[in-house]
Every structure is written in structure tokens, then in C-alpha cells.
């Protein structure tokens, strides 16, 4: 019975991690969507390198944060798990606040050279670095999840560009990003509460 309970807990934790990665990938979807919409509106060539550069840089940001969190674990000692989930909670709140405060136009970048491509790709890197740090402090993250996240970013970037080009800017994207931050916050609170049960 104990092993069945342990197995269920692991499956639930992995499910929560996948949901968290999906929530973190929403920022890439919206960035690519806005970019695709702007390029179509201005009759500019679509930034076809975006679905390659953005996922690689943002995945590296998450991985760097995770490694930093792992390195900090001995310093945080017994508080590392709660500290890690608290950082994830702050990241969720930060994503919600940023998307509530900024208008769609403030997030649009015309990608006309490699510098602007890097700027757009790195625009959400801080949130991912902090989320990675929180995960590194609080939980083991098998390498397959890093690869899954990169695949999610590639998919969301391609989808964003295609839908942005065909449908233009949509107000629901802002709400979608706010909900993604909320989901991340709820997951963090859930894990924090589980530490005390």
C-alpha cells in the first residue's frame, strides 16, 4: 500500500511539473503571436528564426536557474524546499502583474535583425531563470522535462507566429497569460501546503 501511495504521489508531482511547464511556455506563445501579428500588419517578412532561437535561449535560462538552485540547496539547508516553492509563487505573481499592467502594444517588437531577435527571445528569460531556481531548490527535475520544455517552446513559438499572422492581435492573450501566472501560483501554494501536511 505504501508503494502504491508513493507511486501515485510521484505521478501527481510529475503532472504538476508538466502543468507548470505549460504555464511557463505561455509567455513564448504570446511573444511569438504578437510578433507574427505585427510583421503581418506591416507587411514585413516573418521572423522564421524565432521558433529556434527563442526556445533555445529560454530553455538555457530555465536550466541555468535550475543549476543555480541546486548549487544553493546546501546553503538553504532544511528551508530549501519552501524557499524554492516561494520563489515559484513569486514568479507566478510577477507574471500576473506584468500582464495585467502592460498593454499588448508594449510587448510588440519588430524583429528586423539578430539583435532584436535576441531581445525578444531573452525578454522572458528572467522569469524562467527564477522558476528554474525555485525548481532547483525544491525538487528533482529529470532531464526529460528540460527537453519537454524546449519542445513546448518550439511548438508554442511556431503556433504563435502562425496564429499571429492569420488572426492578428487578440485581447484574450493578455488574460491567457494572467491565468498562466495564476496556475503557477496555485501549484506553488499547493506544494507549500503539502510540506506541512
pLDDT digits (tens, 9 = 90+) for 174-194: 889 999 999 999 999 988 888
Number of domains the chain contains: 1
pLDDT digits (tens, 9 = 90+) for 18-32: 999 999 999 999 989
- Report the distance separating Cα 93 and Cα 86, nearest Å: 11
119-171 pLDDT, tens digit each: 888 888 899 999 999 998 888 788 899 999 999 999 999 999 999 888 887 87
Q: What is the pLDDT of residue 66?
A: 93
Instruction: Indicate the length of the chain as a whole number.
Output: 197
SS (H, E, C) 7-47: HHHHHHHHHHHHHHHHHHHHHHHHHHHHHHHHHHHCCCCCC
What is the extent of the structural domain holding 153? 2-195
Q: What is the Cα 192 distance to its own chain's centre?
A: 20
Distance CA 136, CA 132 (A): 6
Separation between Cα atoms, residue 54 and residue 171, nearest integer Å: 23
DSSP for 96-163, please give it: HHHHHHS-GGGG-----SHHHHHHHHHTTHHHHHHHHHHHHHH----HHHHHHHHHHHHHHHHHHHHH
Amino acid at each position: 500500500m505504501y508503494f502504491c501511495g508513493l507511486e501515485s504521489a510521484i505521478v501527481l508531482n510529475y503532472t504538476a511539473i508538466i502543468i507548470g511547464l505549460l504555464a511557463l511556455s505561455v509567455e513564448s506563445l504570446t511573444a511569438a503571436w504578437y510578433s507574427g501579428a505585427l510583421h503581418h500588419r506591416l507587411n514585413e517578412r516573418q521572423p522564421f528564426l524565432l521558433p529556434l532561437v527563442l526556445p533555445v535561449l529560454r530553455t538555457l535560462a530555465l536550466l541555468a536557474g535550475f543549476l543555480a538552485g541546486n548549487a544553493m540547496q546546501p546553503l538553504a539547508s532544511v528551508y530549501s524546499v519552501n524557499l524554492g516553492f516561494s520563489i515559484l509563487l513569486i514568479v507566478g505573481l510577477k507574471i500576473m502583474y506584468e500582464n495585467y499592467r502592460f498593454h499588448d502594444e508594449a510587448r510588440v517588437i519588430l524583429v528586423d535583425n539578430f539583435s532584436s531577435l535576441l531581445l525578444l527571445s531573452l525578454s522572458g528569460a528572467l522569469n524562467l531563470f527564477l522558476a528554474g531556481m525555485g525548481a532547483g531548490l525544491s525538487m528533482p527535475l529529470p532531464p526529460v522535462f528540460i527537453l519537454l520544455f524546449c519542445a513546448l517552446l518550439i511548438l508554442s513559438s511556431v503556433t504563435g507566429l502562425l496564429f499571429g499572422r492569420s488572426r492578428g492581435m487578440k485581447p484574450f492573450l493578455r488574460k491567457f497569460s494572467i491565468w498562466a501566472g495564476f496556475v503557477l501560483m496555485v501549484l506553488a501554494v499547493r506544494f507549500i501546503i503539502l510540506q506541512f501536511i
